Amino acid sequence: MKSFVYVLLCTFLVLLGCSKMIDDPKPKIIAWGDSLTKGQGEVKSTYPGILQQLSSARIVNEGVNGQTSTEISARMADAKDLYKYPVIIWAGRNNYKRPEQVKADISDMVSKLGHTHYLILGILNGDKLSERKGETGYNTITKLNADLAIIYGEHFIDIRPYLVSQYNPQSDADLKNFNDDVPPVSLRNDDLHLNSGGNKWVAEKINGKIGLLIN
């Protein structure tokens, strides 16, 4: 009789543990964005993929190539079931020349959440003449990022200068990018999109603020 009771008790404890695991999964974080979020190549080389490895969270990659901040905001508006989750927003690269629209779209996305578990990433400049230091595109991007920093405070990560600072001083190409205030070629697949090395720096920077998302 005692053995039977013991088996029942053990079975109950196992089932209770399984139930707890089902009810208490790893926190889910939604990464909204364009091709910089979607990434190129294998999932594990994207910043959401790397962030999932670094953190205790499940990262859902909602990046879509080529989308503007307006299109990303519209997709989020259609996904009301995801509002409750913490989010990372990296939007505006494809329409940065309309900075007021970018700011309005990001504001709209944040307002839909109903919570403060979010991070906004700054817009990158590419290795293009118009986006190098002192040029028109560069000035527009840095001003937009400065505005976002004021609006969102600790919830904003100015990822552009952080990536610029990760240049290899032994590389002439990287040094030129550094002088142009552009993320270095050693961290890119092309004139803009990041390789796994660049995405690693992005993921690590976000992971440093993971407490704002899941605590």
Residue 190 lies in a domain: yes
* Residues 116/110, Cβ–Cβ less than 8 Å: no
Residue 89 lies in a domain: yes
What's the whole-number average pLDDT of the chain?
A: 90
Task: Give me the CATH number covering residue 67.
Answer: 3.40.50.1110
Residue 17 lies in a domain: no
- Predicted confidence at residue 17, as pLDDT, reads 44
Residue 203 lies in a domain: yes
Total domains in the chain come to 1
* Residues 192/40, Cβ–Cβ less than 8 Å: no
pLDDT at 5 > cutoff 60: no
Q: What b/e readout covers 1-22, taking b as 16+ CB neighbours within 10 angstroms?
A: eeeeeeeeeeeeeeeeeeeeee
Q: What's this model's pTM, rounded to 2 decimal places?
A: 0.87
- Predicted confidence at residue 25, as pLDDT, reads 66
| pLDDT tens, position by position, 62-96 | 999 999 999 999 999 999 999 999 999 999 999 99
Q: Which two tokens stand for residue 76?
A: 């989020």
pLDDT at 118 > cutoff 60: yes
Cα within 13 Å of Cα(2), Cβ side: 0
- Predicted confidence at residue 121, as pLDDT, reads 98
Q: What are phi and psi of 210, to 5 degrees?
A: -60, -25
Residue 180 lies in a domain: yes
Q: What are phi and psi of 13, to 5 degrees?
A: -65, -40
| pLDDT tens, position by position, 9-63 | 444 434 444 443 344 467 899 999 999 999 987 888 999 999 999 998 999 999 9
Q: Label residue 3 by pLDDT band (50, 70, 90).
A: low
Residue 151 lies in a domain: yes
Domain holding 54, by residue range, is 24-214
* Residues 29/58, Cβ–Cβ less than 8 Å: yes
pLDDT at 154 > cutoff 70: yes
Residue 15 lies in a domain: no
